[in-house]
DNA sequence: ACGCATGATACTGCATCCATAATTATGAAT
DNA sequence: ATTCATAATTATGGATGCAGTATCATGCGT
């Protein structure tokens, strides 16, 4: 059921998986922009492979929602409408909220120490107004929480949703004051976890995500 | 972003999609049992197609979690462990709960009438102890609610989760007394919707799903 | 008799090839 | 000049072929 298989370390990933990963990277880097047509032949030549594994990779990306396959008309990078974003974020908020709730139930003092260390990093990067490093530490925080929550299916859905959100070119962390605000929200979540208060952890995390969506909306207006 | 394209009615689905659908049907019918190896060649011959579209279909099913692809070792129907079920149901409960919450916000009297009609069907089939028809009406109830909630991304995740759950051979509705219990839970949800009480709708739906998981667990013990 | 090595078989994964549909370019007619 | 029809080009979707690897069977050695 889950992707991680112990023996997988030895077996190198199938070519179509490698290709999918390379394409994901290019899509997230917005080198392949939303709406852009994906030229199978050109990519096959560039990667030095045939179209077969490339097409299989595109099927995978389509399932993830990163591209859309138009029958007989080719493959295009997904364009997120404002409505799409308004649909994804509430779902993301609910899922991440559940993660926080589960984590609050299961968290140990060692887990808390790990999270607190990551939070220290967040504080440092926020103080330095380094959005990139803040983003990276933020990711680690949420990943660590998923580990503690211990629900792989939930984690998978969240990671898929995150991929979709990444299609947006906008980065809310760059918004004036958002870094500090995000930090304060993380503080809230952390405190709820310290107190092992699932309901509060759930609520804090949910609101944190919706706050992120609002920041994104403000950013859209600013542009 | 979403799969439904208006023009899709004219364009017949790609072959790999048709194949994926046929395979889904066979998997849900447990004709292809969990753990069973999927013989690409044999299926290609049976369907009168080449292995290429078949392999593409398997990639799609793998993304849905219905099969697992073991590199160089072929494709197998997913086996759900008890732990897997324990991970999927809480997520399902949270997602369906969100649907109920959103629906309670947006529901109109016409919507409510539609739901009430479906609930009447549920009552009829419960009285007749007809689990099959109850199941079908139950599906309609949840689908209608998704429509009212109006979040396609949410609906998609739920439908994917439903597919995964369908891998289980067990049917909780066949459990003694479960039909009546399920009906009562639906009654609760419906009342919350009538009162346009999002919090209560959310809670009722969440508990309804977890109650379904418990029924499944009782069924497992009975066997 | 049992375990291990070696060879045969079969399947997966990728490349190549071909048919068909879509798009673009060209030309004719109004 | 613009629009429509038609032809040429190009890209997608599917079929076929082939190389590499995993599995299974057979036989040898202990």
Strand D-proximal residues of B, range 71-90, CB below 7 A, are: 72-73
Domain count, chain A: 2
**Does residue B154 share a domain with residue B126?**
yes
- From A14, A68, A153, residue closest to B91, measured CB to CB: A153
Yes or no, beta carbons of B14 and A69 under 8 Å apart = yes
Residues 88-117 of A with CB under 8 A from B: 88, 90-91, 94-95, 97-98, 102
- From B63, B90, B154, residue closest to A64, measured CB to CB: B63
Does any domain span residue B1?
Answer: no
A178 vs A8, more confident: A178
**Does residue B110 share a domain with residue B33?**
no
Q: How far is B1 from chain A (nearest CA, A)?
A: 6
**Does residue B86 share a domain with residue B70?**
no
Residue pair A161/A92 in contact by the 8 Å Cβ criterion: yes
**Does residue A197 share a domain with residue A97?**
yes
Calculate mean pLDDT across residues A114-134. Answer: 96
Residue A55 CB lies within 7 Å of the nucleic strand D:
yes
In this structure, what token pair is assigned to residue B167? Answer: 């891998």
pLDDT digits (tens, 9 = 90+) for A62-104: 999 999 999 999 999 999 999 999 999 999 999 999 999 999 9
Calculate mean pLDDT across residues B35-62. Answer: 97
Does any domain span residue A3?
Answer: no
DSSP 3-state of B145: helix
pLDDT band at A220 (very low <50, low <70, confident <90, very high): confident
Give residue B153's pLDDT: 98
**Cβ-based contacts of A60 with chain B (< 8 Å):** 59, 62-63
Side-chain-side CA neighbours of residue B48 (13 Å): 0
**Does residue A61 share a domain with residue A86?**
no
Count other C-beta atoms under 10 Å from residue B188's C-beta.
Answer: 17
Q: How far apart are CA A93 and CA A202, in angstroms?
A: 9
In the DSSP assignment, the letter for residue B7 is: G
In B25-157, which ranges are E strands?
37-38, 67-70, 74-77
**Does residue B134 share a domain with residue B191?**
yes
**Does residue A201 share a domain with residue A121?**
yes
Give residue A52's pLDDT: 97
Residue A41 CB lies within 7 Å of the nucleic strand D:
yes
**Does residue B109 share a domain with residue B153?**
yes
Q: CATH number, domain at B57?
A: 1.10.10.10
pLDDT digits (tens, 9 = 90+) for A191-207: 999 999 999 999 999 99
Q: Of B77, B95, B119, which marks where a domain is finished?
A: B77
Going by DSSP bridges, is the β-strand pair A74-77/B67-70 parallel, antiparallel, or unpaired? unpaired
Computed over every residue of chain A, the mean pLDDT equals: 93
Give residue B171's pLDDT: 86
Q: How far is A99 from chain B (nearest CA, A)?
A: 10
Helix (H) or strand (E) holding B206, with range, is: helix B198-222
Under 8 Å CB pairs connecting chains A and B tally to: 90
Count other C-beta atoms under 10 Å from residue B43's C-beta.
Answer: 20
The phi-psi region of residue B129 (left if phi > 0; otherwise alpha if psi is between -120 and 50; otherwise beta) is left
Give residue B46's pLDDT: 97
Computed over every residue of chain B, the mean pLDDT equals: 93
Q: How far apart are CA B189 and CA B186, in angstroms?
A: 5
**Does residue A182 share a domain with residue A98?**
yes
pLDDT band at A170 (very low <50, low <70, confident <90, very high): confident
Does any domain span residue A157?
Answer: yes
Does any domain span residue B200?
Answer: yes
Does any domain span residue B96?
Answer: yes
Is residue B8 over pLDDT 90? no
Domain of A203, in residue numbers: 82-222
- From A14, A88, A94, residue closest to B98, measured CB to CB: A94
Does any domain span residue B206?
Answer: yes
Q: Give the Å distances, CA to CA, from A213 to A41, A100, B70, B128, B152.
A: 37, 18, 38, 48, 18
Percent of chain A with pLDDT over 70: 95
Strand partners, B68: B76
Q: Of B54, B77, B100, which marks where a domain is finished?
A: B77
Alpha-carbon dihedral sign for residues A24, A28, A29, A34: positive
Q: CATH number, domain at A90?
A: 1.20.120.530
Residue B221 CB lies within 7 Å of the nucleic strand C:
no
Rounding to the nearest 10 degrees, give the CA dihedral for residues B82, B75, A2, A19: -170
**Does residue A114 share a domain with residue A217?**
yes
Does any domain span residue A4?
Answer: no
Does any domain span residue B142?
Answer: yes
pLDDT digits (tens, 9 = 90+) for B121-177: 999 999 999 999 999 999 999 999 999 999 999 999 999 999 999 999 888 999 989
Residue A45 CB lies within 7 Å of the nucleic strand C:
no
Is residue B197 over pLDDT 60? yes
Query: HEC string of chain A?
Result: CCCCCHHHHCCCCCHHHHHHHHHHHHHHCCCCCCCCEECHHHHHHHHCCCHHHHHHHHHHHHHHCCEEEECCCEEEECCCCHHHHHHHHHHHHHHHHHHHHHHHHHCCHHHHHHHHHHHHHHHHHHHCCCHHHHHHHHHHHHHHHHHHHCCHHHHHHHHHHHHHHCCCCCCHHHCCCHHHHHHHHHHHHHHHHHCCCHHHHHHHHHHHHHHHHHHHHHHHHHC
**Does residue B118 share a domain with residue B67?**
no
**Does residue A71 share a domain with residue A107?**
no
Residue A50 CB lies within 7 Å of the nucleic strand C:
yes
Q: Of A77, A96, A130, which marks where a domain is finished?
A: A77
């Amino acid at each position: 059921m889950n992707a991680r298989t112990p023996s997988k370390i030895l077996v190198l990933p199938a070519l179509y998986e490698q290709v999918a990963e390379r394409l994901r990277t290019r899509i997230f880097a917005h080198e392949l922009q939303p709406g852009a047509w994906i030229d199978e032949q050109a990519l096959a030549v560039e990667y030095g492979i045939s179209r077969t594994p490339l097409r299989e990779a595109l099927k995978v990306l389509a399932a993830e929602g990163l591209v859309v396959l138009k029958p007989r008309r080719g493959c295009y990078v997904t364009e997120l409408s404002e409505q799409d974003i308004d649909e994804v974020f509430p779902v993301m908020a609910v899922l991440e909220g559940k993660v926080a709730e589960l984590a609050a139930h299961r968290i140990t003092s060692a887990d808390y120490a790990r999270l607190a260390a990551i939070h220290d990093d967040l504080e440092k990067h926020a103080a330095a107004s380094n959005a990139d490093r803040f983003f990276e530490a933020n990711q680690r925080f949420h990943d660590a929480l998923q580990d503690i929550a211990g629900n792989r299916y939930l984690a998978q859905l969240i990671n898929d949703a995150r991929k979709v959100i990444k299609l947006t070119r906008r980065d809310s962390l760059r918004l004036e004051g958002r870094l500090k605000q995000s930090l304060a929200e993380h503080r809230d979540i952390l405190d709820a976890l310290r107190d092992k208060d699932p309901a509060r952890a759930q609520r804090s995390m949910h609101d944190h995500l919706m706050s992120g969506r609002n920041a994104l909306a403000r950013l859209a207006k600013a542009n």
